Every structure is written in structure tokens, then in C-alpha cells.
């Protein structure tokens, strides 16, 4: 498989390390650490300790392990251990810390599915080989192809350098789209309005499903002739849909269902508002493909520029560009990785 540089998966590396008797240490607690500990317990892999950043170390217990400071781990077992990063961050100081630890220890940050646990082993790559090759071929530039290969190798190996090798900044990448003050901007998954003002626009259509997020959005960007606010989920059809109201960025149709909400489509919004989008930002916690299906007429007829999240499901990295190419073969599709560990904030820029 031309796109894999690595021969040993992240999870096999952890198993081999345990068989060789080398200590394994986790950095971080929470959901990610829970999944990693579950894997280790399932395969009878002992952990030698868990540590957190000094400011969070209070002698607490997590899953039966005393949570230590990094220096306590070093004093107790030395420096020769496999370090597993078990939490996510985009903070510059934390990312720098990850890189420093990566130089001092063999370090992995396992790829953990946001909404579906799936082992990205050789079988997964073999199953999707054709679509991966098709996606690589349609990406618009060499940097996109490098990021694509980086993300595949990271997902397989867990090696953190792939998350830093070709990282760029979101604001710089927006320049790919040649956005201007006359855009009709559809912000789908508008959250509290944090991305709504990232570019000047003639008019904005702001759609947010979570009712608490929507309340904050209303406070931050009051409804006006230039700001149309819609409290609904973007989907492939109109109706009602089960939803997880988590009052945060993770509010989604996936996960634990806590309510039923209205769903609508891009095509229906365009028809109702008579505002033809020139730019669509789409971060829908896994519903991006369905949103594209529900906006097929708009996309085919008007070819709006787009920014689309590509990391909620493993298949997003090829399903989304192939669907876009099918809807409009003239699209130029760029893939960019923004600062984050693990492989979150992977986005397609489309024009």
C-alpha cells in the first residue's frame, strides 16, 4: 500500500512493548485514558503509571492508579518507557509539551474514534485501498497529498510527528478560498458564533442545533437583516431527528440521545431564505456527508466555496472529497491539518 510508511500499528506496538517488558505510562486522564486502559486490560497489558501536568496533579486516583507528576514517574521508573498521550489539546503550550516528550521518550497518541471505535489495521486499509487511491488523485495540491498521507500514517501508527509535519493555520488556509466582504456565508454548526465573524460577509445564515448553544449564538449575533439564525440540525432531509444536547461543541446526532429536534437541509434553507450561499462552513459533528446530500442541488447549481470538517469518522477523509467530486468535478479540493493532538481539526477547503 503506497500510502503507508509504517509496518506496525499503534496497538500492536503497545502489545510488543508489554511483551518486551518495557514500562508503559499514560499521560492524561478522562475518556481517552479510559479507552486505552480498557484495551490494556483486555490484552493483559500492565501500566506502570499515569501522570498529568503538574498543575492538575493532586494525588487523585484514576481507574485504580495513583495520578502522579511527570517528575515522580521519572524518579520511580526512570526515563526508558513507552509514553502514551491519552487526551486531546490544541493549546500551543501543551502541543509544545507533547513534542518535547516525543523527543525524550518513544511516544504514541492513539487514534481514538470520536463516535465509532474502529481499529485501523491492515485490513481496514486494504478494504478502502481503492477509495484512498481515488481520493489522493483528486486532491488539488502537493501539500494536500502530504497531509492525506500524514493522517493515514498517524491513524495507523499513533506516531505524533505525523500530526506536526505539515501543520498550517486555519486563518492562513482561508486565503485559499479568496473570500471577500460580499460573501453570503452559511455557517452550519455555528456553535456560539465563534467562527461567524472570521470573515466579513454581506449576509450570514447561522444554523445551530443545540438549544443552549443557540441561545448563546443569539446573544453574540442578534438576528438582523444580515444575520439569519436557525435552530435546527442540518441533515439530508427535513423532519425530526434524535439528538444529543450536550451544550458544547460535541452536541451531535451521534452518542446518547437526549431529545428530538427539527432537522432541515441546505437546499430547503436556500429556497426559503432566497439567499444563495457563496461560502459554506460545515462542522456538524459527523453529519457532513448527510448535509452535502441535502444540499446537492445548491452545490451542483451554484458551486459555493466550502470549508468542511474531515475528522469525525474515519471514512470522512475519503467519503467527503469523493462526494464533492461527484457533485461537481470542477471543484478544487485542498486538505489541511491545523494544530491539534490527536487528529482533530483536519479540514477540506473547496473552491
Please state the rounded mean pLDDT for residues 78-83. 97
Q: How far apart are CA 328 and CA 71, in angstroms?
A: 55
DSSP state string for 221-276: S---SSEEEEESEE-SSSEEEEEB--SSTT-BSSSS--EEEEEE-HHHHHHHH---
Contact of 288 with 114, CB cutoff 8 Å: no
Percent of the chain with pLDDT over 90: 84
pLDDT at 221: 87
What element of type H or E holds 282? strand 279-282
Per residue in 11-25, pLDDT tens? Answer: 999 999 999 999 999
Per residue in 44-75, pLDDT tens? Answer: 999 999 999 999 998 899 999 999 999 999 99
Contact of 179 with 198, CB cutoff 8 Å: no
Q: How far apart are CA 273 and CA 276, in angstroms?
A: 8
* Residue 36 grid coordinates: 486505552
Per residue in 95-154, pLDDT tens? Answer: 999 999 999 999 999 999 877 777 788 899 999 999 999 999 999 999 999 999 999 999
Per residue in 311-329, pLDDT tens? Answer: 999 999 999 999 999 999 9
- Answering whether pTM is above 0.75, one says yes
Query: How large is the C-alpha radius of gyration of the chain?
Result: 22
Averaged pLDDT score across all residues of the chain? 94
pLDDT at 224: 80
pLDDT at 223: 76
Q: At a CB cut-off of 8 Å and minimum separation 6, what does 58 contact?
A: 67
Q: At a CB cut-off of 8 Å and minimum separation 6, what does 281 contact?
A: 185, 186, 187, 188, 189, 195, 306, 307
Cell 516525543, residue located? 102
**Distance of alpha carbon 111 from its chain centroid, rounded?**
11
Q: At a CB cut-off of 8 Å and minimum separation 6, what does 189 contact?
A: 207, 208, 209, 234, 281, 282, 283, 284, 285, 309
pLDDT at 119: 77
Per residue in 218-276, pLDDT tens? Answer: 999 877 878 999 999 999 999 999 887 665 666 677 665 668 899 999 999 999 999 99
Task: Give the three-class secondary structure for 52.
Answer: strand
Amino acid at each position: 500500500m503506497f500510502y503507508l510508511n509504517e509496518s506496525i500499528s499503534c496497538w500492536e506496538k503497545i502489545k510488543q512493548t508489554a511483551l518486551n517488558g518495557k514500562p508503559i505510562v499514560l499521560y492524561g486522564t478522562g475518556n481517552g485514558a479510559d479507552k486505552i486502559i480498557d484495551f490494556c486490560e483486555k490484552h493483559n497489558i500492565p501500566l506502570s503509571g499515569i501522570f498529568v501536568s503538574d498543575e492538575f496533579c493532586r494525588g487523585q486516583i484514576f481507574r485504580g492508579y495513583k495520578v502522579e507528576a511527570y517528575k515522580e514517574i521519572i524518579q520511580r521508573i526512570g526515563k526508558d518507557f513507552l509514553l502514551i498521550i491519552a487526551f486531546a489539546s490544541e493549546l500551543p503550550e501543551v502541543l509544545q509539551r507533547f513534542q518535547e516528550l516525543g523527543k525524550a521518550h518513544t511516544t504514541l497518541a492513539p487514534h481514538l474514534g470520536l463516535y465509532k471505535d474502529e481499529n485501523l489495521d491492515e485490513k481496514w486499509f486494504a478494504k478502502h485501498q481503492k477509495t484512498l487511491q481515488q481520493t489522493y488523485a483528486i486532491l488539488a495540491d502537493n501539500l494536500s497529498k502530504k497531509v492525506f498521507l500524514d493522517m493515514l500514517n498517524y491513524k495507523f501508527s499513533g506516531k505524533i510527528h505525523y500530526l506536526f509535519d505539515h501543520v498550517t493555520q486555519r486563518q492562513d488556509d482561508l486565503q485559499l478560498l479568496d473570500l471577500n466582504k460580499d460573501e453570503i456565508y452559511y455557517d452550519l454548526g455555528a456553535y456560539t458564533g465563534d467562527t461567524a465573524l472570521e470573515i466579513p460577509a454581506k449576509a450570514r445564515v447561522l444554523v445551530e442545533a443545540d438549544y443552549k448553544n443557540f441561545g448563546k449564538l443569539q446573544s453574540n449575533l442578534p438576528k438582523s437583516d444580515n444575520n439569519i439564525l436557525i435552530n435546527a440540525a442540518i441533515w439530508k432531509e427535513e423532519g425530526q431527528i434524535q439528538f444529543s444536547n450536550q451544550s458544547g461543541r460535541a452536541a451531535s446526532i451521534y452518542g446518547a440521545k437526549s431529545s428530538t429536534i427539527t432537522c432541515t437541509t441546505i437546499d430547503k434553507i436556500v429556497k426559503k431564505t432566497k439567499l444563495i450561499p457563496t461560502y459554506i462552513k460545515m462542522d456538524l459533528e459527523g453529519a457532513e456527508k448527510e448535509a452535502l446530500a441535502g444540499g446537492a442541488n445548491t452545490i451542483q447549481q451554484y458551486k459555493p466555496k466550502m470549508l468542511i470538517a474531515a475528522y469525525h469518522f474515519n471514512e470522512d477523509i475519503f467519503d467527503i472529497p469523493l462526494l464533492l467530486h461527484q457533485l461537481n468535478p470542477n471543484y478544487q479540493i485542498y486538505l489541511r491539518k491545523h494544530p491539534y493532538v490527536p487528529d482533530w481539526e483536519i479540514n477540506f477547503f473547496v473552491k
